[in-house]
Structures are given as structure tokens and as C-alpha cells.
Amino acid sequence: MAAADVAPLPNGSEGTRTRWKYLDRILDRPGPFTDPDSFAPGNHETLEIAKVLHSGAGGLGCEILKNLALSGFKDIHVIDMDTIDVSNLNRQFLFRAADVGKYKAEVAAAFVEKRVKGVSITPYCGKIQDKDEAYYKQFALIVCGLDSIEARRWINSMLVGMVDGNDPDSMKPLIDGGTEGFKGQAKVIFPTMTSCIECQLDMHAPRAAVPLCTLATIPRQPQHCIEWAHIIAWEEERKEITLDTDDPEHITWLFQKALKRAEEFNIPGVTYSMTQGVVKNIIPAIASTNAIVAASCCNEAFKILTNANPFLGFPGTDGYMMYTGDESVYTYTFEYEKKEDCPVCGEDALARPLQIDPEATLQEFVDSLAERPEAQLKTPSIRTTEKSLYIQSAADYERMTRPNLEKKMKDLTAEGEEMLISDKAFPMMFKFSVVWKK
Amino acid sequence: MADIPPPLQGPTAKEKKYDRQLRLWGATGQIALENSHILLINSGPGVVGLETLKNLVLPGAGTFTIQDSAVVDEADLGVNFFLEEKHLGGFRAEHTCVLLKELNPDVQGHSISEPVESWLTQPDALKPYSLIIVTAPIQPDLLAKLAAHADQALVPLFYIHSVGFYSHFSIHLPPAFPIVDTHPSPETTTDLRLLKPWPELIAYAEEKTKGIESMAADDHGHIPYVAILLHYLQVWKKEHNGEVPNNYKDKTAFRHLVTAATRTDTPEGGEENFEEAVSAVLKSLNAPEPSSTVKEIFKVPECVIIRDNSPPFWVIAHAIGLFYTKYGVLPVPGAVPDMKARSADYIQLQNVYKSKARKDLAEVLESVRFLERNANMSTHIEEKDVEAFCKNAAHIKLVRGRPFHVVPAEGDLKFGANAKSLAPGSSDADFDSDTEKMTSTALKLVDSLVKEASYTIDEDEYDTIRAQIAELAQELVRAGGGELHNIAALTGGMVSQEVIKVITEQYVPVDNTCVFDGVRSKSSVFRV
């Protein structure tokens, strides 16, 4: 047992760690579940010198910054490219009405730095993609509170790619959280050792898009009318203006269009709020759920770096916690198996089988890649071992390969052939083998 | 008309700010939240209670009051986000209140720094509050006093305790806490009544499937699947003595019948509407029988006997119970899922369901009015409340709140009012003896529980339990009554979700105790 170094003095000007009295009990005393080989009682340095990165200063991000600072971390970095919107204020508690329009990362960092003495928070107002391996390498771990699956996949593949078998320090644990309404999840990934975001991609399947012909000819739901205004009417009537979903005039225009179309078809239920929800793909979010998921992420970060208790994600143990609060409280903690043919962390040589309709055109196949749970690629470039089918990464290639879009898949490739797909959103290649859909 | 520029029907400033939550609990939930006055009785390191309040101030809970007699010390600054260095030596209630109020200018906040023992002796001290949150440690007699108030005033009471990597909370709800708007998952709410169709629905199906064999391809590919299933149910019944497919085997056979009727000479090699019909067979061809939980609600005393002061829930439930007794089904909810169909055919189908739902509602409403007259009620229940009830009748819930079992102070582990210094494990010197004391107290509790339940426990199981309890006790004592910010924040998130569910009377709250284990990242819910 470490001696108490926190003898209370009367006037509030005590020793440097007096304020960490509660935290230090945990750091100074081993518990029944701590691993004696990895836990050193009385070690306060690890937390003080560890550099941690947090990406996303939104709903989860505000909570995560607060939690990291009050977990004893001293050197925190935060990345976020967004500015503050009025609809953030119901949960992003580091922002005030006067901050609307300012960069989230900057305001959040300054707030927490001021509130929690002794912590340094370095903001970067930009994209995670602006940063390279050397940047990510400086951190002990990375916590993510991102709102897009693309960003998660990007950082995941960056961290997996950084792992060098000869350098244990090159493996950076990734802790990721997400919420929707009263539900949320927190997970820990040890790149290359445990299943990665890409392995788990089918858990983040996008909602199936409504077929274009339904929107164009037989709408039935208010959402169909809104999508029609969004995808078809805008293109036809206001092509010269770039749609800005944050511009109330634009949303109002879409709403009016959708409303008029709904009236033509006797469809009830189009509202301004629904228009906004559909066009911006709004996911309901509340402070409570952010608090649960963010704290779970930070609890794991704290345990990983201090070894104060076992953490999620140790290979062969649970790495994923799902929280559901709609009906009573239910948590499910489990291990997600690593996929051997994962394009990011799996064996290089393995190609995953991909079912393709031989009668579909290449255009239809390209469109389907955005929705297929195992791919989710919006701007794919496709090659087979024989030829380039469609390349959209460069304008010249795009023009040259465009005529292929009308051809049928059976005329472009063959069963069993290997297909390489890349996407500018991701730094890696996806390797598939063609399987004809019966 | 078309020449007049459309007015800007944008949302109000409040709707903009609360957009992401209004999509969950709507305007009525928000009003309930804004009308609430939440009391937090804070103690110990005081983090979990404030983290709970934070998540209630942000979405706009009307008013909060913090009762806390603690004086801010250095240790507070390392664990509590709503205190700053300059507050050292001041009252914690006062300063945390100010910093919490900053989060939302729409929310009122008050603080009380008088010690809870004396404050509670004032008559009507608890009267202004619509919900009370109390954090441990608190003297058992004070907790008993709060529980008695909750019982008598029907005010929801929350008790929270967060220590180290563990936390727990219990909810004391009124003895009858019914919920209409439970927000069931959308997959469970489709109720098409295909096995009990009414004449208008049968007529619709006949109209849409007339000459189905010789129908033009485009028409055939756009028959709504509801009509397809009803049509082939008629075909099936003719071949099966008027019986519908009742069991899994029959349903599988029926599915083959529908699959076989799909045209394959189309450009796609199949038909989307028939695919929808086939995949709906197993889940849609069920007798529309209400769940046993719903049927139980019709039988409870509050529902059976309607008095002049019966809350609207029971009056409507009684009326729906009458409807069920008469027809053997609940009112038609009226919603139709999206399906491949032409716009006009789909809207027509929607209207078939909507008219039936309106007809059923009218009947329920008539019973409600009859009950109101019979019981001499002075006020009328609003029609929209009856409508909302009819729509969700299959998913209503009744939670029976239960008072806390407050254990009187005795034995080795006393928690004083100022438990900061008295909590087990507070000092390193007493660490081992505190662990021993706590373990033995916990084991005594286990023994008495085993005895109370007349449970026979075998030696191995008993040894395992003893070993686990010793470990849990040691982990608890390790924290010395201190909070870890992460666990307090996580628990504050959980409790605030529950508070919102209770205040808005939406979703389903925990009944009645929840424990979180931050070592293994797991939770459990118990009814105690």
C-alpha cells in the first residue's frame, strides 16, 4: 500500500495532487481485479505524460473532453472541422448561444482548459484526413466521437496501417462511441489484434434508399415526396444553386415542393421538421445518452493506460458495449470476431466473395456499392485483373471508362474473377471475388 | 395562388434549439419537462447528482433546486466539473447551481445550503418538487422520511450511489405508473388484421386482385401485398375447409402458394410486391391477440372500478377493455407500413385502415363518455388522448412502483451525514479492516437472503459467492467512498434518461433498481 501523500491541510493550498484525492485512491491501491504484473500502485506519471487524441467535438466530444480532463489526463488534443450550430446547444454543454458560428474544437478546448486547472488541450480545426501517420503516432490512444461512418473507417484504416510488428509502440488503441436517441455503443479496438471498424461494418448498415422510380412515379410516403424534392426537383429547377441543407431558404423551398407534391398524391404528413430530418439525415440526440457513451469510452481509456482494472477489448474478451434505454435499461457486452478477409486488418491475399447480378449494368452495380453493408462505397473505382472497369479518381480516366457504365456485368467480368475497388474516401483497396447472383 | 411566394414556415427558435430531442419525445414530452421542478439532495463527493442534473438542464427541465450543505474543498475540483478554484471554501450548492444554470438560460435554478437534517424538519419543505433525486450517502432515517413523502405525495423518488468503478440507482414510482406512449420498436407495431379482416378491407382486396391471373404485367407488379395475401388466404381457405394457415407448417405451405403465384417472366425475373408478400407471411399471419401484459392491465382494480377521480388512463383502459371483451381484439391502430404499390392504391388502403381505426375510436370514445357520466366526472378526457391510447393500445405498460426498503443504521458500517470522512476505505490505515468489515456485512446479508428465500445452496456455489463478494467489497473499499468522474458521469447519464422517461411518461423506466459495473462494463436490472 502506498503511503497517503495527500495529508489534508487547512487552507486549500495543499500538495499538488490534493485535488486528485479520489482518483489517487484508485491509482495507489491495487484492487482484486487488477493484474499485478501491469499495475504499479502509486504511478501518477503515466496519466500526466500520456498524449491522447480525441476526434469529434460534438455531443460526445464535449463529454469526452470533460471526462478525459477529470480522469487525470494532462495533454489532450482534439480535432473537429465543424462550427457551432444552435441545434447543438441542447447537449453540447461547452457551447453557449454566443458561440454559434465559432469552431467547436477551439471553443471546447478553451472551456475545459479554463475549468480544469493544469490540463492542456490543443485544438485542431480541420479534418482528421489532414493529418498523417507521424501525427497519429505521437498519441498513446485515440478516442472517437465521430458522426460519420466514413470518418471512422478512415481513422481505423490509418491506425491499422500504422502497426509495425517490430514496434509495440506503433499500435494505438482506438476507442469509439456512437449514439442514436436512447441507444448507444462504446467499443475498444486494438488495431490488428482485435476486430476493427471495417470487420464490424455490417453493424453499421446504411438505411436502404428508396428506389428512384418510386420517388419519380409512385410516391406513397411523405418522405418519398421530400426525397423527390431533394433529388429530382432541385436538380431540375435550381441546378445552378448548390444545395445547402443549413440554409433555411433552401429547406423551405424543398418543404414547399414536397408539400405540393404530397397534395397532388393525397399523401398526408409532410412537415418542415420532417423535411429537415430527411434531407440532413438527422439522428435524434440527447445529452443523457452522450453522457453514458462518452463516459464508457473514457472509463476504458483510463483503464487501458493505468491498468487500474481490466478493460474492454483485450484480445479474446468483450470489446463492445451496447446500451439500450428505450425500455428499462439493457446493456450487452460482447466480443466481435475479427474477420479473416477484412480488407483493412485481414490477410492481404484474401478476396471476399461479392454477389453480383450478371444482368445488372455497371452503373447499377456502382450505385449498389453505396448501400451494400459490406462495401458502403460512394465513389468507387473498379478494376479487374484484366482491365479498368470504371475509374472516377481522375477526370481523364473517368471519361475513358464512362462508356462501360452501360454495359452488363456479365460482359465485363466473369465468375471467380478478382475485383479491386478503391474509393477516394479510404486509403485502402477492397479486394473481392465475383460470384454471380442466381 | 401559385403566384404568391410561399411564407417561410421555419421552426421557432426553441424548436431549433431542441430539434434533436423533440424528434424523440415531441412537444408534449417537452412541455412536461418544462413544467417539472427537480430537487437534488446532494452529498458525498456529489458528482453523480450534478452530472444527472446537467443532462436535465440541457434539454430544458423547467426548474431545479440543489440542496447540499457541503463546503467546496480541493478534492471537489478533481472530480466535479461544475466547480472552479475560486469557489474553494464556498457552499457547493450555491456554486454548482450557478454553473449549471449557465448551460441553459431557459432553466431556473435554486440552491439550499442548510443541512438536510434541519431543512427537512420544515413543514412543506418538499412541497414544490415534482421529482426528487437523492444521492448516497444519506442517513437511513432521512431517506425513510423522503420515501414516506414520495409515497404520500405520489412524487417519483430516485436514489443514486456511485463509488469507484461501481454505481447503483433505485426508482420509487407511484404504485400505479401507467404509460401509453412506450415508443415500441417499429418492427413490432405492424398490425394488419389479415386473419380478421373487416368487410371494407375484404372488398378492397377483391377489387385490387380482380382478374389477377390475366392482369397486365405492370398492374400485377403493383398490387399491394396486403391485397395479395388476403386474396391467397381466400384461395387457401377454399382448399382447407375455411381454415386459415394456423401453424408453422401451414404458413410455410401458404408461403409456397404465394411464391408460386409470382410472375418470373418480368425483366427483373420476379416481382417486388410478391417478394414483400412472401416475407410478410410469418410475421403478419397471426391472430391479433393482445399480449398478456395488456390483458392483465384490464383486470387490475384501478381499471375495473372507475370513480369520479380516476385518472384518464384508467377510464380509457376500461373502455378499451370493454371493446376487447366485445370483439376479442383491440381497436385497429390504423398505421400501414410502406409497400410496393401505386400511389392511389396505397392511399386508398391507408384510408381503409384509417376509417376502421376511426370507427373503433368512436366506439371507445362513446364508452369513455358513458363512464365519465356514470362516475359523475366533472371534466372530459380529450379525444386526442383517447386516440393516442387506441393507436398504441397493444403496447401500453403499467409499472407498479414500490417503496424503498430502507435498512436502519446498525452494525459495523455506519454512514454518517458527513460520509466524506467516514466511508469505508477513506484512510489507508483502515483499508484492510474496512474491507473485512464490509465483506462480513455483505456475507451476513447474503445469508439472510438465502434464508429468507429458503434457498438450498450447495457448498461449491456458496464458496463461489463468498469469494465474489469478498472481491466486490475490496473493490468498493478501494475507492474509499470516492467517485470516479467517468462512472459518475455514466450513471448520471443513465439516471437522467430514467428521469426524462418518468417526467414525460414516455418509454419504459427501470423497475426498479439498476447496477452498473465499470470494471466489466455491464449493467443489471433488479426488482427489489
In tens, the pLDDT along A101-113 reads 999 999 999 999 9
Which of B263, B286, B309 is the C-terminal boundary of a domain? B286
Q: For residue B115, is the peptide bond before it cis, meaning its omega torsion is within 30 degrees of 0?
A: no
Contact A50, A36 (CB under 8 A): no
**CATH code where residue B163 lies:** 3.40.50.720
List active site positions of A: 213
Q: From first to last of the 528 residues of chain B, give the pLDDT tens digit.
A: 344 445 556 788 899 899 999 999 999 999 999 999 999 999 999 999 999 999 999 999 999 999 999 999 999 999 999 999 999 999 999 999 999 999 999 999 999 999 999 999 998 999 999 999 999 999 999 999 999 999 999 999 999 999 999 999 999 999 999 999 999 988 888 899 999 999 999 999 999 999 999 999 999 999 999 999 999 999 999 999 999 998 999 999 999 999 999 999 988 889 999 999 999 999 889 888 899 999 999 999 999 999 999 999 999 999 999 999 999 999 999 999 999 999 999 999 999 999 999 999 999 999 999 999 999 998 999 999 999 999 999 999 999 999 888 877 654 444 443 444 478 888 888 888 999 999 998 888 888 888 888 888 888 888 999 999 999 999 999 999 999 999 999 999 999 999 999 999 999 999 999 999 999 999 999 998
- Residues 6 or more apart whose CB falls under 8 angstroms from that of B373 comprise none
pLDDT of the residue at B8: 56
Q: Is A321 on the interface with B (CB under 8 A)?
A: yes
pLDDT of A156 strictly over 60: yes
Q: Average pLDDT over chain A, rounded to whole?
A: 91
The reply to whether B308 and B278 lie within a common domain is no
The reply to whether B48 and B113 lie within a common domain is yes
Contact B136, B166 (CB under 8 A): no
What's the complex ipTM? 0.94
Record: contact A29-B431, CB cut-off 8 A: yes
Pick the residue from chain B with its C-alpha nearest to A185. B521
The reply to whether B212 and B167 lie within a common domain is no
The reply to whether B167 and B262 lie within a common domain is no
SS (H, E, C) B456-525: CCCHHHHHHHHHHHHHHHHHHHHHCCCECHHHHHHHHHHHHHHHHHHHHCECECCCCEEEEECCCCEEEE
Instruction: State the number of CA atoms in the 13 A half-sphere of A101 facing the CB.
Output: 2
pLDDT of the residue at B4: 46
pLDDT of the residue at B2: 43
Among the partner residues A93, A115, A255, nearest to B84 by beta-carbon distance: A115
- Match 475498444 to its residue by C-alpha cell: A188
pLDDT of the residue at B410: 57
- Give the long-range contacts of residues B190-193, CB within 8 A, separation 24 or more: B190/B283, B190/B284, B190/B335, B190/B337, B191/B288, B191/B332, B191/B333, B191/B335, B191/B394, B192/B226, B192/B284, B192/B336, B193/B288, B193/B329, B193/B332
Domains and CATH numbers, chain A: 18-204+285-334 (3.40.50.720), 212-279 (1.10.10.520), 352-436 (3.10.290.20)
Least confidently predicted of A305-319, A374-388, B64-78: A374-388
Among the partner residues B58, B431, B509, nearest to A90 by beta-carbon distance: B58
The reply to whether B338 and B444 lie within a common domain is no
DSSP assignment of B162-218, as one string? EEBTEEEEEEE--S-EEESB----GGG-----TTS--HHHHHHHHHHHTTGGG--HH
Contact A58, A80 (CB under 8 A): yes
pLDDT of the residue at B427: 86
Output the CA–CA distances (angstroms, integers) from residue B229 to B233, B258, B348, in the order listed: 6, 8, 17
pTM above threshold 0.90:
yes
What does the alpha-carbon distance between residue A424 and residue A392 come to, in Å, rounded to a whole number? Answer: 9
Residue at B319 is within a domain:
yes
Cβ atoms within 10 Å, residue A408: 14
The reply to whether B297 and B276 lie within a common domain is no
pLDDT of A75 strictly over 80: yes
Q: Which residues of B touch A19 (CB under 8 A)?
A: 74-78
The reply to whether B165 and B226 lie within a common domain is no
Q: Which residues of B touch A121 (CB under 8 A)?
A: none
Among the partner residues B21, B427, B509, nearest to A286 by beta-carbon distance: B21
Q: Which residue, among A143, A253, A283, A292, would best test binding to B if mutated, counting the most B CBs under 10 Å from its CB?
A: A292
Record: contact A252-B9, CB cut-off 8 A: yes
The reply to whether B342 and B440 lie within a common domain is no
Range of the domain at B368: 288-399
Helices (H) and strands (E) in chain A, counts: 14, 13
What does the alpha-carbon distance between residue B130 and residue B420 come to, in Å, rounded to a whole number? Answer: 29
Q: Is A205 on the interface with B (CB under 8 A)?
A: no
The reply to whether B475 and B486 lie within a common domain is no
Among the partner residues A87, A221, A318, nearest to B20 by beta-carbon distance: A87
Residue B408: all three cell numbers together: 436502519
Record: contact B508-A326, CB cut-off 8 A: yes
State mean pLDDT over A406-434: 88
Amino acid at B185: S
